[in-house]
Amino acid sequence: EDAEPLPASVPAPLRWIIERLLSKDPADRYDSTRDLYRELRQVRDRLSETVSGVQAASTASFAAPAATPALTRNRRFLLAALAFAVIGSAAGWFLMQWRVDVGRLRYMPMEVSWENPSDAVWSPDGTGFAYVAGAAGDRHVFVRYLNSPTPVMLTRTADDWYTAGWSPDAKRVFARGKYPQGRYALFSVPVFGGDPVFVMQLDTPFMPIPRISDDGRSLVAVGYTGLKLGVYTSSPVGSPLQRYTPEPFEARALSNSPTAAFGPDGTWITLIQDVIGGRQVWKLPFPPGKAAPERIMKGLNSIGPTPRWSWFPNSRYGFISSTDEQGAHLWFAGVRNGPKWKLTGTTPSESETQPMLSPDGKRMLFVQGNVDYMIVSASLSDATVTRVISSEMQTGMPAWARQRQEFAYESRRNGSPTIWVRNEGTDRPIVTPDIFPPGTSLFASPALSPGADRVVYTRGDDMQRFQNWISAVSGGPPVRMTNEKEVVERGGAWSPDGTSIVYWEYGSVPSIRIVKSTGEATPVTLRQSASNVPDWSPDGQWISFRDGTDEVGWGVISPDGKTVRSFGEPQTIQVTFSPDSKRLYGIRVEPSRCVLYSIDIASKEKKIIGEISKDFTPASYSNPAIRLSVSPDGKSILYPAIRRSNSLWMLEGFDQPGWVDGLRELIP
C-alpha cells in the first residue's frame, strides 16, 4: 500500500528523500546508505537556508512580523527531529526485513529412506556428516560423504544411538550408546564400520545428549547431581568429567531437555535451559575462568521444546529452531538478541529443526518433519486400534469421564491451546486462553471430575511456569489447584468421590502428591522419587505411580501411603485401572511392536491382550502428559499417539552474515 501523504510542513528536500526511500521500484531507491548519508547531510546543512527563504517569502506576501531568532531555532530543531525520526524509522524497517531470497535457496534430500533421521554432525573438513536413523530401539549410526549418493551404516547392533561428534582426524565418529549394564556410555566407531570402541561412561545422572567440540578434543554434557543441574566437560575426550564452575545458571525446577554445545572455535559453550521464569541461554567461556558466564540471546521466546542451534564460524550468528504460532522453523539469530528473521516454514504441520552448519558456514543440514496427531482407542479384548481423532494441528492428552460417555482433550484446532470435550461426536471448548492473563502457551492433561462438572488441567505460560488449575465445565473463572509456588505441577486424577486430586510435582524432589479439590489447597506428599502422571483406581483403594528410577518400573500405592505393590515393567509407558479396580492395563514398548497387557493387582499375574503397531505407540507433544483412560463401558482404552515422518535435508544458497546483521544486533 502507498504511504500516507507527508504533512505540507515537511521541507521539499526532505520530502524527496523520503519518497525515494519509499519507492516501489528498487532501481529508484538509494544504491547504498552512503548515498543516503550524503543527501541527509546536505539537507541538514542547508535546511536553515530553505527555512529562511520560506520565512522571507511569507513576510513579503503577508506582511507578518519577522520570526525571532528563538522561533527560527525551534523550527530548525523540530524539522531536524522530524528528519531523524523518519529516517530512523525507515532504517529500522530496513534492518528488520527478512533477507530470504527464496529463488536462491537450494534444498537437497540427504536421508529419506531410513526412518526418523536426526542428530547430524559434520566432519571436521566438511566433506561428510554422520547421523542416526531407524525406528525406536533399532537406530543405527550412518556416515554419508558429499561425493557419494548413499550412506554407510557404521553400527550393526540396534541401540538408542546418538551422534555426538567426530575425532580430530575425521577417521572415527563419537556416538552415545548403552553399556551392557544399561547405562549410557560414549563410543567411537570407525568410518569404515566395525565394532564400537568404548571411550567413557556417562553415568545415570547425566543427560544423554553429549556433544563433542568441532576440533574433536572436548566433550560437554548437561546432567544432575541429585536435582541440581550442572554442566560437565571432559577434555581431552575420555578424561574424567569435570563440573563447570562458576554456575550462575544453577536451577532445580526445569522442564524440557537442557542442552549444551561448544561454539565453533571451542572457546565457549552455549547452554539453553527452560526454568521457571522463562528460557535462558548462557555463554560459558571454556576452559572455565577465562571470563565470566553471561546471558545471551535474550530475544529467544519460551515456546515449545528446548531448541537446537548451530553457529556460523564467526561465532556471532547462527540458525536456531525456534517455535512460534506457525510451528518450529529455522530462524537466523544473533548471539546478543536471538532470532531476527525466519528462514524456512509457515506451515504448522511441517517443521524444520536441528540445524547444523558446515565448518565453512555455506551449507546447513536440518531435519524436516511432518506430524499426524492422533487420539486412538484400543480394544481390551484383542488390542485392535481405531482412530478417534486425527489432525495436523497439535491434538492429544485425552481422558474419559468415569460416569458419562464423554472425554476431555487438548487441541490447537482453532489456532490457540484449548481444552475440548467430545460427547457423541460433538466437540465444544470448555477452557480457552482468554480466561487467563496473556501468555498461555499450553494446556495439558485435562481430567474431568467423576460428575463431569469440573476439569483439572495443567496450564503452561511463556515464562515456563506449569501449574494445575480447576475450572467448572459450565464456565467461570479458573482457580489454582494448590497454593504451591516455584514448582512444576503436571496432570491430575480425581478420587472417586471427587474430593481430592492426585498429581505429579517437580519441586525439590519429584513426587506424587494429593490435594483437596477445593482450590488453592495445601498438598501432602504421597511418594517421593516418582515420575509420570498418576491414576486413581475407581474404588479409591490404589494410586498408580512410576518409580523415579527407570529400571524399577510401575507400582501402586494406597492413598494413605502405607501399602505399596511393585510390578516392574520398566518398558511400559503408562498404566491405568480396570473399572472393577482389580487389574492394571499397560502398554509396553518393544523394539518392533507395542504390547497391550493386563496385571492382576492381587496375584501380579500378567496377561497379554494383543499387539499394537508401532505407528500407534503412546506419545505426547508435552511430557509427562501420556495417560491411558478406560472407556465408561470398560471395553477399550483411549490414549494419544503421534506419527512422525522425518527426513534429513541439506540447504544451500542462504545469505552469509554481513554488516546489516551487525546493525540488527544493535536493535533490541
3 state DSSP class of 21:
helix
Model pLDDT, residue 78: 66
Question: Can you tell me the distance from the alpha carbon of 281 to that of 260, in angstroms, rounded to the nearest whole number?
Answer: 10
pLDDT > 60? residue 66: no
pLDDT > 60? residue 334: yes
pLDDT > 80? residue 69: no
* Contacts with 102 (C-beta within 8 Å, 6 or more apart), sequence order: none
pTM, whole model, 2 decimals?
A: 0.74
pLDDT > 50? residue 56: no
Model pLDDT, residue 623: 82
Query: Mean pLDDT over residues 574-587, rounded?
Result: 97
DSSP 576: E
Please, which pLDDT band fits residue 54 given cuts at 50, 70 and 90?
very low
Q: What are the pLDDT digits (tens) for 73-128? A: 666 666 666 666 666 655 555 555 555 677 789 999 999 889 899 999 999 999 99
pLDDT > 80? residue 545: yes
Distances (CA, A) of 666 to 96, 295, 336, 655: 11, 16, 9, 19
Mean pLDDT for the chain overall = 87
Please, which pLDDT band fits residue 63 given cuts at 50, 70 and 90?
very low
Model pLDDT, residue 610: 97
pLDDT > 70? residue 580: yes
Please, which pLDDT band fits residue 410 given cuts at 50, 70 and 90?
very high
Write the burial class of residue 503 (CB in 10 Å: 0-12 exposed, 13-18 middle, 19+ buried).
Answer: buried
Question: Can you tell me the distance from the alpha carbon of 321 to that of 256, in angstroms, rounded to the nearest whole number?
Answer: 15
Identify the bridge partners of residue 304 per DSSP, sorted by sequence position: none
Q: What are the pLDDT digits (tens) for 599-646? A: 999 999 999 999 999 889 999 988 888 999 999 999 999 999 998 889
